[in-house]
Amino acid sequence: MELSLAPPAIKAFMCGSLSGTCSTLLFQPLDLVKTRLQTLQGGMQPGSGRVGMVAVLQSVVRTEKLLGLWKGVSPSFVRTIPGVGIYFSTYYSLKQHFVEGRHPGALEAVLLGAGARTVAGVVMLPVTVIKTRFECGRYSYRSVFGALRSVCQTEGPAALFSGLVATLLRDVPFSGIYVMFYSQTKASLPKEISTSSSAPLANFSCGVLAGVLASLITQPADVVKTHVQVNPQLRTAEALRFIYTEHGLQGFFRGAVPRSLRRTMMATMAWTVYEQLMSRLGLKS
């Protein structure tokens, strides 16, 4: 079946998957650095901001070579290609059902983004757990499916859903907040800009602003999620106490710079590519 003849939701899935593939390949090193910062890999005592990022980057390149920065890219692909496709197809379907033919309001945008992320987040959580373990450097898994099998055999299938609460507390608000800021700032653009050849660049700028705000608001939940998935014996409440006891309030913002960069650029690129592909297929995203 040609893509042009496929149902709109399938087109949205394909466009989302392609946009997710591009953004994952480009920004995987930032995700690895974020995970290493949050888990204090290798006894490092990274500070916050640029110094911590540089220290981790140098350590990874020195001990694992340049390609070590893309460690975990396989589970990232396994998660992102279907995951972003599920997200955008769910978002498109919800939007068509509830706000067809008009621009969503601020609250509607939050609910659309949150609903789509909830579905994608729950479905893809097992791969998210494996991706986090690949990146932290504490596990020596050889492949994604081998890791899935190993976790099921040694820890039980429930371990693949560790950090579910923290993940949803991170991803659902992020997506809702991102979609709200993105849709509202894009709608406020002058018509001569939104209909011109510079529209993709303007939309990209709106996405950057939305991504930074959403990333900073949800950063504490990301730190908790990482600790729970790397240390499955920890529950969410225990992880909260551990982070606060060991690092204080600033511990909840460890890795904020690389995560903000990655999440902002990934979300912005994904939405920009998705909207351009959907437009070429004659669909309103």
Average pLDDT in the chain: 84
Q: Is the separation of the CB atoms in 106 and 180 below 8 Å?
A: yes
Rounded to whole angstroms, the Cα distance separating 76 from 80 reads 6
Q: Given this model, what pLDDT does residue 6 score?
A: 63
* Chain centre distance of CA 226: 13
pLDDT tens-place string over residues 34-67? 888 877 644 444 444 444 778 888 888 998 889 8
Is the pLDDT confidence value at 232 over 80?
A: no
Please give the share of the chain, as a percent, with pLDDT higher than 90: 24
140-179 tens-digit pLDDT: 777 888 888 888 999 999 889 988 888 888 889 999 999 9
- Looking at residue 4, its pLDDT comes to 53
pLDDT (mean) for 72-77: 82
Q: What is the pLDDT of residues 116-150, one digit of tens each?
A: 999 999 999 998 888 888 777 777 777 888 888 88
DSSP character string of 145-205: HHHHHHHHHHT-GGGGGTTHHHHHHHHHHHHHHHHHHHHHHHHTS-HHHHTSTTHHHHHHH
CB 186 within 8 A of CB 203: yes
pLDDT of residue 25: 87
* Helix (H), strand (E) at residue 225: helix 199-230
Burial class for 198, CB neighbours closer than 10 Å (0-12, 13-18, 19+)? exposed
What does pTM read for this prediction?
0.73
pLDDT at 136: 75
Name the CATH superfamily, with its identifier, for domain 3-280. Answer: Mitochondrial carrier domain (1.50.40.10)
Q: What is the pLDDT of residue 50?
A: 42
pLDDT at 40: 61
Q: What is the pLDDT of residue 45?
A: 45
